[in-house]
């Protein structure tokens, strides 16, 4: 009995098995005329998977469901398959990246994409969290791929097949170029993977999504029957009711707690403009202007020091790490200004920063939403200490040498 894969087409979960089979020289037949919602509800299918989910692989020894399990099964049918690496540690790392691909990439792409198609209830806050979580996963992936062509070793493994299929789902359906351009190492990796001959044989030419799908209408449109003359008034009344419901004003979005603070004499945008527009005499103009504007009742200053500087052994990886942090701080742009310095002429590089936040404490929503915050030690600036004030000036000015060391890079959040 040949191996038979029960799934519709195209289906990224089915692709995992078909591509793994192509690499392994295993024959897998995709069932013909599969209809989602019909074929997977049949008694025969439910005997193989009582939940009715696809794909399911029919084998001589019984059915296998769950797409990663099926791909693993097919891969192991070939003895000493290089798709599973050449050592125990490579095997463990392949399994590691398979789990990462499922938990950090696939789940969040689905949480972003499915509600927009109407498969799940749309919720803007849930979507925002899904996108933030997806970006977090892509940033972590990007750091790894900055030094590696493939996930494990120097050739395609099962981890690349599964991650490639999950990224395929995102790239072709919702992750536009403007979104993925933040992660150039991931882009390079994805196009490398999908253009491998065994991938192209199964998926064909791949085109990236040009736009994010619009949010599906909550109520399906039904064609209206022409009103009968005698019931014109009655029909008109019926048609008015939904119109009133549609025109109901949306509930106001809850205000950020920082918007409820007493007004401050410091206007953050004015400081940002002064900083951006000062090209000469920086100390006399920008820094003096900062202290003239600064309001300790409405704002607070904080130093941050990266906790794990001993890990910063590669310059561009360290720079990418800081750049990712600033990207994830975008949610606080209305309430913050920051300077991040990468310090040192040789590794390990030190990462230090200065941040100006609205309010007397670091905003709680920043601590909750930006996971990078816990990677730094945060110390509130005592503006009555002249030494600390001068350190603030040095950060704002990108002073070099900074505390006796060369600057590798300086980044500004404004």
Three-state DSSP at 118 gives: coil
pTM score, two decimals?
Answer: 0.55
pLDDT under 70 in the chain at which residues? 1, 218-254
CA distances from 406 to 109, 281, 341, 382 (A): 41, 22, 10, 26
Handedness of CA 86, 87, 91, 94 (dihedral sign): negative
Non-local (6+) Cβ contacts of 251 within 8 A are none
| DSSP H helices in 77-223 | 88-100, 107-117, 124-145, 158-173, 177-180, 184-194, 197-203
d(CA 365, CA 309): 26
**Mean pLDDT, all residues of the chain:** 89
CB crowding 351-372: b at 16 or more within 10 Å, else e: bbbbbbbbbeebbeebeebbeb
Give the pLDDT confidence score for residue 221 in this predicted structure: 45
Q: How far is CA 286 from its chain centroid? A: 36
Three-state DSSP at 302 gives: strand
Give the pLDDT confidence score for residue 361 in this predicted structure: 95
Give the pLDDT confidence score for residue 318 in this predicted structure: 87
d(CA 380, CA 243): 54
Per-residue DSSP letters for 194-220?
Answer: HTSHHHHHHH-S----SSPPPPPPSS-
* Pairing, β 299-306 against β 376-380: antiparallel
Give the pLDDT confidence score for residue 253 in this predicted structure: 56
CB 311 within 8 A of CB 278: no
Phi, psi of 63, rounded to the nearest 5 degrees? -80, 155
CB 313 within 8 A of CB 346: no
Give the pLDDT confidence score for residue 319 in this predicted structure: 87
d(CA 78, CA 89): 20
CB 182 within 8 A of CB 135: yes
206-255 confidence digits (pLDDT tens):
999 999 999 887 544 444 454 454 444 444 444 444 443 444 445 555 67
- Beta-bridged to residue 299, according to DSSP, are 358
Domains of the chain with bracketed CATH: 3-203 (1.20.1050.10), 263-413 (3.30.70.1010)
d(CA 135, CA 235): 50
């Amino acid at each position: 009995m040949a191996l038979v894969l029960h799934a519709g087409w195209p289906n990224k979960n089915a692709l995992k098995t078909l591509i793994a089979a192509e690499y392994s020289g295993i024959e897998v037949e995709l069932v013909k005329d599969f209809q989602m919602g019909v074929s997977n509800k049949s008694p025969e299918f439910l005997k193989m998977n009582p939940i009715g989910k696809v794909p399911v692989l029919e084998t001589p020894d019984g059915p296998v469901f769950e797409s990663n399990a099926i791909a693993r099964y097919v891969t192991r049918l070939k003895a000493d398959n290089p798709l599973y690496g050449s050592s125990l540690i490579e095997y463990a790392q392949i399994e590691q990246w398979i789990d990462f691909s499922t938990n950090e990439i696939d789940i969040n792409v689905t949480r972003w994409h499915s509600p927009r198609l109407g498969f799940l209830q749309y919720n803007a806050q849930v979507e925002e969290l899904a996108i933030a979580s997806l970006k977090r996963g892509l940033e972590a992936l990007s750091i790894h791929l900055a030094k590696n062509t493939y996930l494990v070793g120097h050739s395609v493994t099962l981890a690349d097949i599964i991650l490639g299929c999950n990224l395929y789902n995102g790239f072709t359906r919702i992750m536009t170029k403007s979104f993925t351009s933040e992660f150039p190492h991931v882009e390079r990796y994805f196009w490398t993977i999908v253009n491998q001959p065994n991938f192209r044989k199964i998926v064909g030419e791949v085109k990236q999504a040009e736009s994010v799908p619009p949010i599906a209408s909550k109520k399906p449109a039904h064609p209206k029957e022409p009103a009968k003359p005698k019931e014109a008034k009655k029909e008109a009344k019926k048609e008015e009711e939904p119109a009133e419901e549609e025109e109901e004003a949306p509930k106001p979005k809850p205000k950020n707690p920082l918007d409820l603070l007493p007004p401050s004499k410091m206007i953050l945008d004015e400081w940002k403009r002064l900083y951006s527009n000062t090209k000469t005499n920086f100390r006399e103009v920008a820094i003096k202007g900062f202290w003239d504007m600064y309001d300790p009742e409405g704002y607070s200053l904080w130093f941050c020091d990266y906790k794990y500087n001993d890990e910063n052994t590669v310059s561009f990886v360290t720079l990418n790490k800081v750049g990712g942090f600033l990207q994830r701080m975008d949610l606080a742009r209305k309430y913050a200004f920051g300077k991040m310095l990468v310090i040192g002429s040789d590794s390990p590089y030190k990462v230090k920063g200065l941040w100006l936040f609205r309010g007397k404490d670091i905003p709680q929503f920043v601590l909750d939403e930006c996971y990078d915050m816990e990677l730094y030690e945060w110390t509130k600036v005592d503006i009555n200490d002249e030494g600390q004030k001068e350190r603030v000036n040095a950060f704002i000015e990108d002073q070099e040498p900074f505390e006796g060391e060369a600057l590798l890079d300086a980044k500004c959040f404004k």
